[in-house]
Structure 1
């Protein structure tokens, strides 16, 4: 494992910790899109179907279990916890995320590396992850003012994917036959969706002002 992969994994884990800190400690999910969290739960559920059949390493298994457990825990908190769900802005979180799922599934059935159930589901998870942040970004644009923890969560989530791109570049340069076009293109699309947010987040940090996104 190279430093970019490890940094990406740790950044991803930090984003989850920040979100759980907000939900569990502050008992608030204000500014957080349930639609995005449901998409991420779907991503991990379809990506890690091999968790009990194909052992890679202890580290790999632990990370899979963490992301599965935390993604479904966050959805549960936002849907069922009496205090947390009161802060959920359902009226603003109206992105029709279910309409993203069918096109991703069709694309996975057509464009994949191997036409098997696990491989198609793995490819499907890549396509869904590429667009899963859209409901969250739309919600942030609607709510305008964004609290620090929400801003940090989204920034870390985007940084994780950017670090994975560096990981792919490093592996392409150092490993023979390392070519995964589906993963690369999906990851690039996902990172580009964060570009506008990164710009305003970094500007707010440099100027020490509260993060605001334009309409």
Structure 2
């Protein structure tokens, strides 16, 4: 289970990114359709300085997206190389995943709704505890990968103690997702149990 939860962060770094848009294309519907196209592939490096990750869309069945994720290097508990296929859902107005439900499509967990308001909360019941995602802001940021100001929705994911495995040598309490309705995920921040904020910002988007 912890391995699947770990991959939530790793996959969503790619799962939520949309292809580059034409200047006159500002529709959410177009963004989600382009994002889910079979063959889309993303690559990135991670803060441990050694590990690389790639993700590729291998199927899209009415918005249910399957992606193959390849992690190469000495990342956490993984040795050498690992490949896994994981699943999420795209709709015209939202992004959700099935990580905490271990692939059960009847139990999606909303990451964001594009018309969300600050204070909106999404919950997922793990039995003895709950995972909470809260919309904390709607704000524009300069995104290096796009070289432009982009309106984003900030979502905080609160991690109960013992649920999340060590990542990059840290234990995390909160994951902050910054999502554009047009471009998808553009930045991730991870708050450690020691109060340190680690930022994973995309420096290039090449699809």
Higher helix content, 1 or 2: 1
Q: Which has the higher contact order (CA 8 A, sep 6+)?
A: 1
* TM-score of the aligned structures, taking structure 2 as reference length: 0.31
Higher strand content, 1 or 2: 2
Q: Say which one has the larger Rg.
A: 1
